[in-house]
Amino acid sequence: MPSLIKVRNINELKEINASKIRGFIKNQSSFLTTSLDEILGKDHVEQLARAAGFVKRSSLVNGKNFLDLLLSNATQGALLSLEDLSRDFAVAHGESISKQGLDERFNSEAVFFLKSILNKMLDNHLLGTQKSGTKSPFTSCRLRDSTRFGLPQEYASKYKGHGGATQTKSMISIQYKFDLLTGDQVDLQLTSGCQNDQGDSPESIKNVKEGELLIRDLGYVTTMYLSGVMKRKAFFLNRLPSQINVYDPNSKEVISLKNVYKRLIRYSIPYIELDVLIGKKAQLPCRLVVSVCEENAAKKRLERTTKNTNSTGHKVSEETKWRSGLNMYITNAPEEKIHAKNIYQVYRMRWQIELIFKVWKSIANIDKLKKVKIERFVF
């Protein structure tokens, strides 16, 4: 399983070179090991190992030293051979275990044990967050995104891919969520790569709490998701999906984005804020903040849209062309919580997750693996 990494500041991470990032990951592994000791303690870890069936009797490999072994090799993951891990275990504990014996410890009970550890750590964090009294207009600010990569085809029964021309018979999706106010992980789920983000949205709505601000990529945004957030008295901040129209609250007519674009250009306005209704049927009330997109970005966006549209045998509509030149953000948070001029700055913090994914792939090598037991890969 990928290392648990805290990223608190985008600029700070951008300035770190590759060698420093390796040290960063190593420090995070040490931090997690220390946190396990402080929060759970060795005895509690062993209780969880026995409850999961990972430890059934006195053994050379117990819950604590097995976790330590994996955390100390977090930057290599499944690239390491069993022989490498056996050697590291001998160095750390002064006792030898065969690679066959270690291989047997990567089983379903080990996966269940890890999940119980992760759940305990998350529960402790959530309790700490509730007691922290963080000064913010929101109780928390939850960022969510996903990353996908192909796996050996032998894993297809557990993690199904798209197959077909892409030849990705097995693919995994890592659904990751963390709290921007604390920089800590809130949730991490492994699903099949063929499951899209919108399919995950209905399930994730169940965990939304009153007063939270949720910032998610376009892939998660549907009117059902937005409605679910509002019903739970929470708040969303998202880009406006291209397939969703906005309506005037009074006339109930579709708002012309062409007119909005021309107004922005004519009067050199940095942004326009409108009260709108989202969705033809849903008619969800929210704020729409619109600004002109940079020329190069708008050109690339239109090229991508044109390519996708032409592949289906259709032509790009005039309205879509105007949309390509606009940055559009929707939120149900009132102005006193997020001022329109700060909408973009707040939303772009979502890229912290993208940076985490980049670290996982470029340094922790989570997408570079050889064929190993699926339980070892998951662990």
Q: Decide: 363 and 355 in contact? Cβ < 8 Å.
A: no
What's the pLDDT at 119? 65
Which segments in the chain show pLDDT lower than 70? 1-40, 70-80, 118-135, 163-167, 183-185, 196-204, 359, 362-364, 370, 375-379
| E strand spans, 140-202 | 140-150, 160-163, 168-179, 184-192
> Rounded CA gap, 146 and 171, in Å?
13
pLDDT at 16: 41
pTM over 0.75: no
Plot region of 149 (φ>0 → left; ψ -120 to 50 → alpha; else → beta): beta
Calpha distance 173→179 (Å, rounded): 20
Phi and psi torsions of 349, nearest 5°: -65, -15
- Cα(274)–Cα(255) distance, integer angstroms: 10
- How does DSSP assign 291-316, residue by residue? EEPPHHHHHHHHHHHHHHHHTTT---
Tell me what pLDDT residue 317 has. Answer: 84
State residue 9's pLDDT score.
44
Answer for the pair 213, 232: CB distance below 8 angstroms, yes or no. Answer: no
